Structure 1
Amino acid sequence: MRINDLPNDCLLMIFDQFHDLQQFPKLMKVCSRWKTLIQIRLKKVKHFDCTCLDSDFPQCFRLQVVGKCVSTENMNLLEKIRLTELLPNVKTINFQSSKNPCSCSTLAHLLANANPIEGLCFYNYEYNERHKCKLMRSVNELITPFLGEIKVLATHFDEVIRSYFKAFGHLKKLRTLGNSAVGGHVRFIHVGKFSKFMTNLKTLSVYCDHESETKHCAEYKYKIPVLEKLQYLDIGNCLSDCWTLKFLNFCPNLQYLAIKITVYRDPIRFDRIDKNYNVIGLEITISAWFHDEFIIQTVEKFPNCRYLCVHSNVSESVEIEVIKLLPHLSTLVFGSDSMSKDPNNIQAIKDYCQKHNRQIDYYINTKDENLANNELHRNFHRVFYNQYSLQNFR
């Protein structure tokens, strides 16, 4: 039996297993029948992944290509194709590059030759957020006009974010801003400036820098509306006495929170943060030599937390105190690989839980193979790390 003896349905199932964009032109040359079937296959594609990263980049930065998705790492190909013809139904584009030259012109070409998209993830790790190439200085004309239907926007380039909100923020279509999976936090200054357009936001990944704190945030802190629909929040690089932390008071319906606290000099004023009874998943990363105090002060603000992951070295007494503070806790993970793994300490925790009738799944680091079977852990990481929010459109 030859492959062309198979019915069209079977051939389409085979073609659905191909995801490299460079393969399809070759397949289309086999015969007219294959060309027609490949065109049908490409019309199914909803997500286009352009990941041009160096080989030493972490695997988490690379999208797992499945479902209605095709991909390429060929920058030259990206500058030639017309998505309206090749992939007419693409709704989301993930474009990451770690190589020179600047990839802004390639993105502009893709957007100008695509039908309206709903999701964009754009990062070039060779450049910082203030990057201003010739094209970026014309972002209002060459990139922004094609973002009017965007629901997911993830980029570290300030010019793209500012231009988008000035042009389309009033439509309040955005559901996701930033991307934790690729370390794609946006600067908190943009939240301060454009929060009035974020009332429909569901997922937000932000980080605080010194400039945002000292020059800008105080100006906007009394103008931020309550973001009632925000359920998933990732705060990176939360500084001492950071106003970004106080932003939690404007997010009453959070369910999942990841927060990284960096302490340089002054203590963090946890007393300025209201308790949140809706958070069920919490991840804390603390960079401070007096981290025990911060862990206690943080977790007590989220008394209904069911999943807690702490990236920090902590003492046995703090672990027990955390369990006392969180009566609904069912999964506890201490994610520092350098943490003491003294069997006596581990047994003391288990003995405490048994004595007080606490059913808690306890893990001493995030590399524990059994974590993959923990539903709360999977749910938390599915929100922030293991899948791009862009994939929701597949």
Structure 2
Amino acid sequence: MQLNDLPEDCLLYIFDYFPELKQLHILSTVCSGWNNLIKRRLEKVQYLNLEESDEHSWHFKFREYPSHPHIYTNDIKLLERVNVSKLLPNLKFFTTNHYNGWQCMCRATINVLSTSNTLIGLKDRSPCHKSDSRNCSDGIHIDKIVQHCGNLEYLSSKSKHFIRSFFFSFGDNLKHFEALVDLSGFSLYPGATDSVSRLMAKMPNLETLTLLCEPEIKTRHWPIPKINLKQLKILTFYMRFRTFQVLSLFPELPSLYLRIDMLKKAKTFTTSDIHPSVQDLVIRIDNFLIDYQYDRDFKYPQLFKSILAKFPNCKNLMIDVAYEFINNKLMIEIIEVLPNLNLFVQNVYQALDDRKDPDYFNSVDRHFKTTGRRIAIYLFKNKGFGRIIRYSLNEDVAGPFKTDNQFIHKYFRCGKDSYPSIF
């Protein structure tokens, strides 16, 4: 039996698992039949990834993504000249990335942005934009890229120059923004001391915001438009130096993700501000064990209670403490701090069948039966759903992993990233 003897649907299914654009281009030259099938395969593509990588790694990375909508290439020259609207007529998101090289991606980025009719998302990781210069290594001014970005709804950038240039002209259409650069001291306009607030004011339709760290919020001398932000992520939150100032810009924020970097002396959270609108809360602590494994004076409850007391109306809570486990006594104390809590999820790093406390769930069960609380509690193994231990006292939320529970979708099905990304 020859390969061409297979039905078209079978061949199309096979082509769906070719991750590299150059490979598909070669296959399209075999015959007119294959050319038509490759065109159908490319019509499914919504995510285009330009990365400096060898072909071997494409197959490894491709396993992290759904097969149909994603495609990769390291052929920068191809993307500098191709008409994207004809090649990928339904493309929505474009990502540039690099590893150890310094090959300019700016011309390719301009071509993709200018020749695609459907593009709404850009994740900019070009090596050119890591420098302090507004001109890339090929002499292309950053404004030449930005002028094609007016229709973007999703933007992720590590470049202050790119961010400044973009928001000088655009922002109204933006719904999802990742600023993966420290905006402390960022100036949108010369002499502006409240530039972070001005930046937020440029995005009246913003729904999700990711910040590398919490910037200092200067006193505003002008009213900021109301922004109905649905989700805020702060990827590095230093407890000793920050006090949730940025939350003052979003008084009705319902969902917050915090990746906390604690310092040795910061054992409690001292701010007195309360944020009653937050209902979904994720707390991730990465260097907990390193800092405190020999500190016998450190008290778990002090830390968690001082944080959770700021969010009295939290309904869905996830706590992820790297290499540590919250014991049942502390779990009870945490739940008692939050009178409206319905769902408590904990990321577990050690083997789930090596429980130190075999009476873990029963003790929690007995306690909350006496109080009348109905709480759903879940443990899941880090980076996977293969070995979930589930415990539920609340049948209303007994199966969030099998439903459309938005809290679960945002924070446990983000596969390719250690934090939920907008892409």
Same fold by TM-score greater than 0.5: yes
**2:125 is paired with a residue of what secondary structure?**
strand
The match for 1:301 is: 310
Equivalent residue, structure 2, for 1:271: 272
The residue number in structure 1 matching 2:335 is 323
> What CA distance in whole angstroms lies between the structure 1 residues aligned with 2:150 and 2:414?
25
| Distance in 2 between residues matched to 1:159 and 1:132, nearest whole Å | 8
The answer to whether residue 375 in structure 2 is matched with residue 360 in structure 1 is: yes
Correspondence for 2:357 among 343, 368, 376: 343
- Going from structure 1 to structure 2, the CA distance change for 1:130 and 1:302 (only over 3 Å counts) comes to farther
CA distance in 2, matches of 1:35, 1:250: 52
Instruction: State how 1:75-114 maps to structure 2 within 5 Å.
Output: 75=76, 77-78=78-79, 81-105=82-106, 107-111=108-112, 114=115
Q: How much identity, in percent, do the aligned residues show?
A: 23
1:285-311 Cα shifts (integer Å, max 9, x gaps): 375755532311222333333332223
Change in Cα spacing, 1:13 to 1:56, as seen in structure 2 (3 Å) is closer
Matches within 5 A, 1:188-267: 189=186, 191-208=196-213, 212-213=215-216, 217-220=217-220, 225=224, 227-240=226-239, 242=241, 245-264=244-263
The alpha carbon displacement at 1:4 in A equals 4.2
Q: Which residue does the alignment assign to 2:388?
A: 370
Match of 2:149 in 1: 147
The residue that corresponds to 2:295 in the other structure is: none
Structure 1: segments with no counterpart, 5+ residues: none
Mark the CA change 1:245 to 1:24 in structure 2 (over 3 Å): closer, same or farther.
Answer: same
Task: Give how far 1:37 is off.
Answer: 3.5
2:410 aligned residue (365, 380, 389) = 380
2:43 aligns to what? 43
Aligned residue identity for 2:363? A
CA RMSD of aligned residues (A): 4.1
Q: Partners of 2:67 and 2:202 in 1: how far apart?
A: 33
Residue in 2 aligned with 1:159?
A: 161
Partners of 1:111 and 1:156 lie apart in 2 by 19
Given that 1:202 and 1:230 are in contact with CA atoms closer than 8 Å, whether structure 2 keeps it comes out as yes
**Is the Cα–Cα contact under 8 Å of residues 212 and 234 in structure 2 kept in the other structure?**
yes
CA distance in 1, matches of 2:303, 2:225: 26
Q: Aligned with 2:170: secondary structure? A: helix
Residues 152/323 of structure 1: CA separation in 2 closer, same or farther (3 Å cut): same
SS in 1 for 2:232: strand
Deviation at 1:167, TM superposition (A): 1.5
Question: Which of the pair is proportionally richer in helix?
Answer: 1
Asked if structure 1 preserves the Cα contact closer than 8 Å seen for 2:328 and 2:364, the reply is: yes
Post-superposition CA distance 1:77-107 (Å, at most 9, x none): 5556443443244221022222211544354
Q: Alpha-carbon deviation of 1:119?
A: 0.2
Report the CA distance shift for 1:101/1:2 in structure 2 as closer, same or farther (over 3 A): same
In the other structure, the counterpart of 2:393 is: none
Question: Which runs of no fewer than 5 residues in structure 2 stay unpaired?
Answer: 187-194, 293-297, 391-398
Residue identity opposite 1:206 in structure 2: L
Distance 2:389 2:168 in 1: 43
For the Cα contact (< 8 Å) 1:178–1:186, is it kept in 2? no
Contact 2:234 2:259 in 1 (8 A): yes
Could you tell which deviates more after superposition, 292-301 or 126-135? 126-135
Greater RCO, 1 or 2 (C-alpha within 8 Å, sep 6+):
1
Distance in 2 (alpha carbons) for counterparts of 1:253 and 1:361: 25
Change (3 A) 1:320 1:334: same
Deviations 1:320-349 (A, max 9, x none): 221112234343234464799630673533
- Structure 1's 224 and 299: CA in aligned 2 closer, same or farther, altered over 3 A? farther
TM-score by length of 1: 0.77
Question: Does the 8 A contact of 2:174 with 2:205 survive in 1?
Answer: yes
Tell me if the contact between 2:201 and 2:224 (Cα under 8 Å) persists in the aligned partners: yes
TM-score w.r.t. the length of structure 2 is 0.72
Paired residues of 2:76 and 2:108 also in contact (CA < 8 A): no
Change (3 A) 1:322 1:127: farther
Aligned residues: 376
Query: Aligned equivalents of 2:159 and 2:328: distance in 1?
Result: 43
Structure 1 counterpart of 2:237, which letter?
A: C
Distance 1:56 1:9, change over 3 A: closer
Kindly provide the amino acid, as one letter, of the partner of residue 310 in structure 1. I
Aligned partner of residue 272 in structure 1, secondary structure: coil
TM-aligned CA deviation for residue 48 of structure 1: 1.0
